[in-house]
């Protein structure tokens, strides 16, 4: 049951990410972009793409991929770790 609940929560979040990406809410001139600019010290909240490569991928993406892989393996092996506890 909890896996299904977690999956539903992730899909719910992903749905909003896709909707906001497609409607341009955070793009320059979008509703939430103006809010971020107007916020006190909000300039650091705006996305920066200075270190992006030609393909639009930051070198930090490799760190993210590594962490996601480690998280997957840890969750995949959790039952085995649980049965090995004394």
pLDDT in tens, 67-82: 999 988 888 888 888 8
Show Cβ contacts of residue 26 under 8 Å, excluding neighbours closer than 6 positions: 20, 32, 33, 36, 47
Alpha helices in 1-86 (DSSP H): 2-23, 31-38, 60-76, 78-84
Residues 6+ apart with CB under 8 A from 43: 37
Q: pTM of the predicted model, to two decimals? A: 0.45
Letter string b/e over residues 51-70, b meaning 16 or more CB atoms within 10 A of that residue's CB: eeeeeeeeeeeeeeeeeeee
Segment 23-70, tens digit of pLDDT: 888 777 888 877 777 777 767 766 666 666 667 777 788 899 999 999
């Amino acid at each position: 049951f909890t896996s299904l609940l977690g999956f539903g929560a992730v899909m719910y979040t992903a749905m909003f990410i896709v909707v906001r990406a497609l409607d341009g809410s955070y793009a320059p001139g979008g509703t939430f972009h103006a809010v971020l600019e107007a916020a006190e010290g909000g300039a650091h909240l705006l996305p920066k793409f200075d270190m992006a490569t030609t393909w639009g991928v930051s070198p930090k993406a490799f760190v993210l991929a590594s962490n996601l892989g480690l998280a997957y393996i840890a969750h995949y092996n959790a039952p085995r770790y649980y049965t090995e506890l004394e």
